[in-house]
């Protein structure tokens, strides 16, 4: 795992003509789906884009970034502010069934979640959806390394264009795209670019 984190890079060179087998892609998504989330509400959705024509369209929405078309698979990561309403009852059902909670606490938990994440169109709710979807995306990128795949996250795109072209409802948010594929053979990557010293951003006990 540590090796996967150390070796993950944002890849611009994907192997042309090599598809990711369906079972491998599903395994990748299943592993990412183990990500932690606020109240276990899992407010993410994913559109898998593999069709060359659809990737062309996606590339146009992504400021013409070639990797969008060159990677065999591009994932549109979608943060769903409606994840609270959609999943809260199921989460509580599972917690109750597994013995995490007793039925008398359900009402308190429901109120707690609604208070914490506010109304569906609030900024707090959008942040909730985006932060959890970003964790999903990060886990997916690390898991991809473990499966011999490479990735590239992207937020260089016109969100309205992607929503229109891929029929994504207006209330959803697209935190990033993630290109996934095999590294093109014979490629040597440049050394990893700068990272700040810990002393610049780590403080103990106060800001
Ligand atoms: C949320 C996010 C959005 C990004 N958007 C783009 C992008 O649109 N195009 C691009 O070429 N790289 C993009 N990157 C890649 C970053 O430039 C890259 O992660 C950074 O330079 C560090 O390199 P590394 O990922 O290889 O460690 C993005 C990265 C993240 C996490």
Per-residue pLDDT tens over the stretch 5-53: 999 999 999 998 889 999 999 999 999 999 999 999 999 999 999 999 9
Distance, CA of 33 to CA of 25 (rounded, Å): 12
Q: What is the mean pLDDT of residues 80-93?
A: 97
Read off the pLDDT of residues 124-169 as tens digits, 9 standing for 90 and up.
Answer: 999 999 999 999 999 999 999 999 999 999 999 999 999 999 999 9
Question: pLDDT, tens digit, for every residue of 165-176?
Answer: 999 999 999 999
Give the pTM: 0.96
In percent, how much of the chain has pLDDT > 70? 100
Interatomic CA distance for residues 49 and 75, integer angstroms: 6
Name the residue with the closest Cα to ligand 1, atom 6.
154
The residue among 183, 175, 171, 176 whose CA lies nearest residue 119 is 171
Ligand 1 interacting residues, C-beta cut-off 6 A: 9-10, 65, 153-156, 176, 192-193
Copy the structure tokens of residue 17: 């003509």
CA angle at 188 for the pair 190 and 177, rounded to the nearest 5°: 70
Q: What is the pLDDT of residue 1?
A: 87
Q: Mutate which of 8, 10, 66, 193 to test ligand 1's pocket (most atoms within 8 Å of Cβ)?
A: 10
156 Cα nearest atom in ligand 1 = 8
* Spatial contact of 157 and 174, defined as CB atoms under 8 Å apart: yes
- CA separation for the pair 153, 163 (Å, rounded): 18
């Amino acid at each position: 795992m540590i090796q996967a984190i150390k070796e993950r890079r944002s890849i611009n060179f994907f192997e042309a003509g090599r598809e990711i087998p369906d079972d491998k892609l599903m395994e990748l998504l299943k592993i990412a789906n183990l990500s932690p989330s606020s109240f276990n509400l899992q407010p993410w959705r994913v559109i898998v884009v593999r069709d060359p024509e659809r990737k062309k369209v996606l590339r146009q929405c992504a400021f013409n970034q070639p990797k969008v078309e060159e990677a065999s698979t591009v994932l549109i990561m979608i943060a769903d502010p409606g994840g609270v309403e959609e999943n809260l009852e199921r989460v509580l059902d599972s917690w109750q069934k597994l013995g995490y909670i007793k039925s008398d606490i359900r009402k308190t938990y429901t109120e707690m979640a609604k208070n914490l994440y506010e109304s569906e169109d609030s900024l707090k709710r959008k942040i909730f959806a985006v932060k959890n979807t970003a964790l999903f995306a990060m886990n997916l990128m690390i898991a991809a390394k473990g499966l011999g795949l490479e990735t590239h996250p992207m937020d260089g795109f016109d969100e309205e264009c992607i929503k229109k072209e891929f029929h994504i409802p207006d209330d959803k948010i697209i935190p990033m795209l993630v290109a996934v594929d095999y590294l093109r053979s014979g490629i040597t990557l440049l050394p990893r670019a700068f990272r700040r010293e810990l002393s610049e951003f780590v403080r103990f006990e106060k800001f």
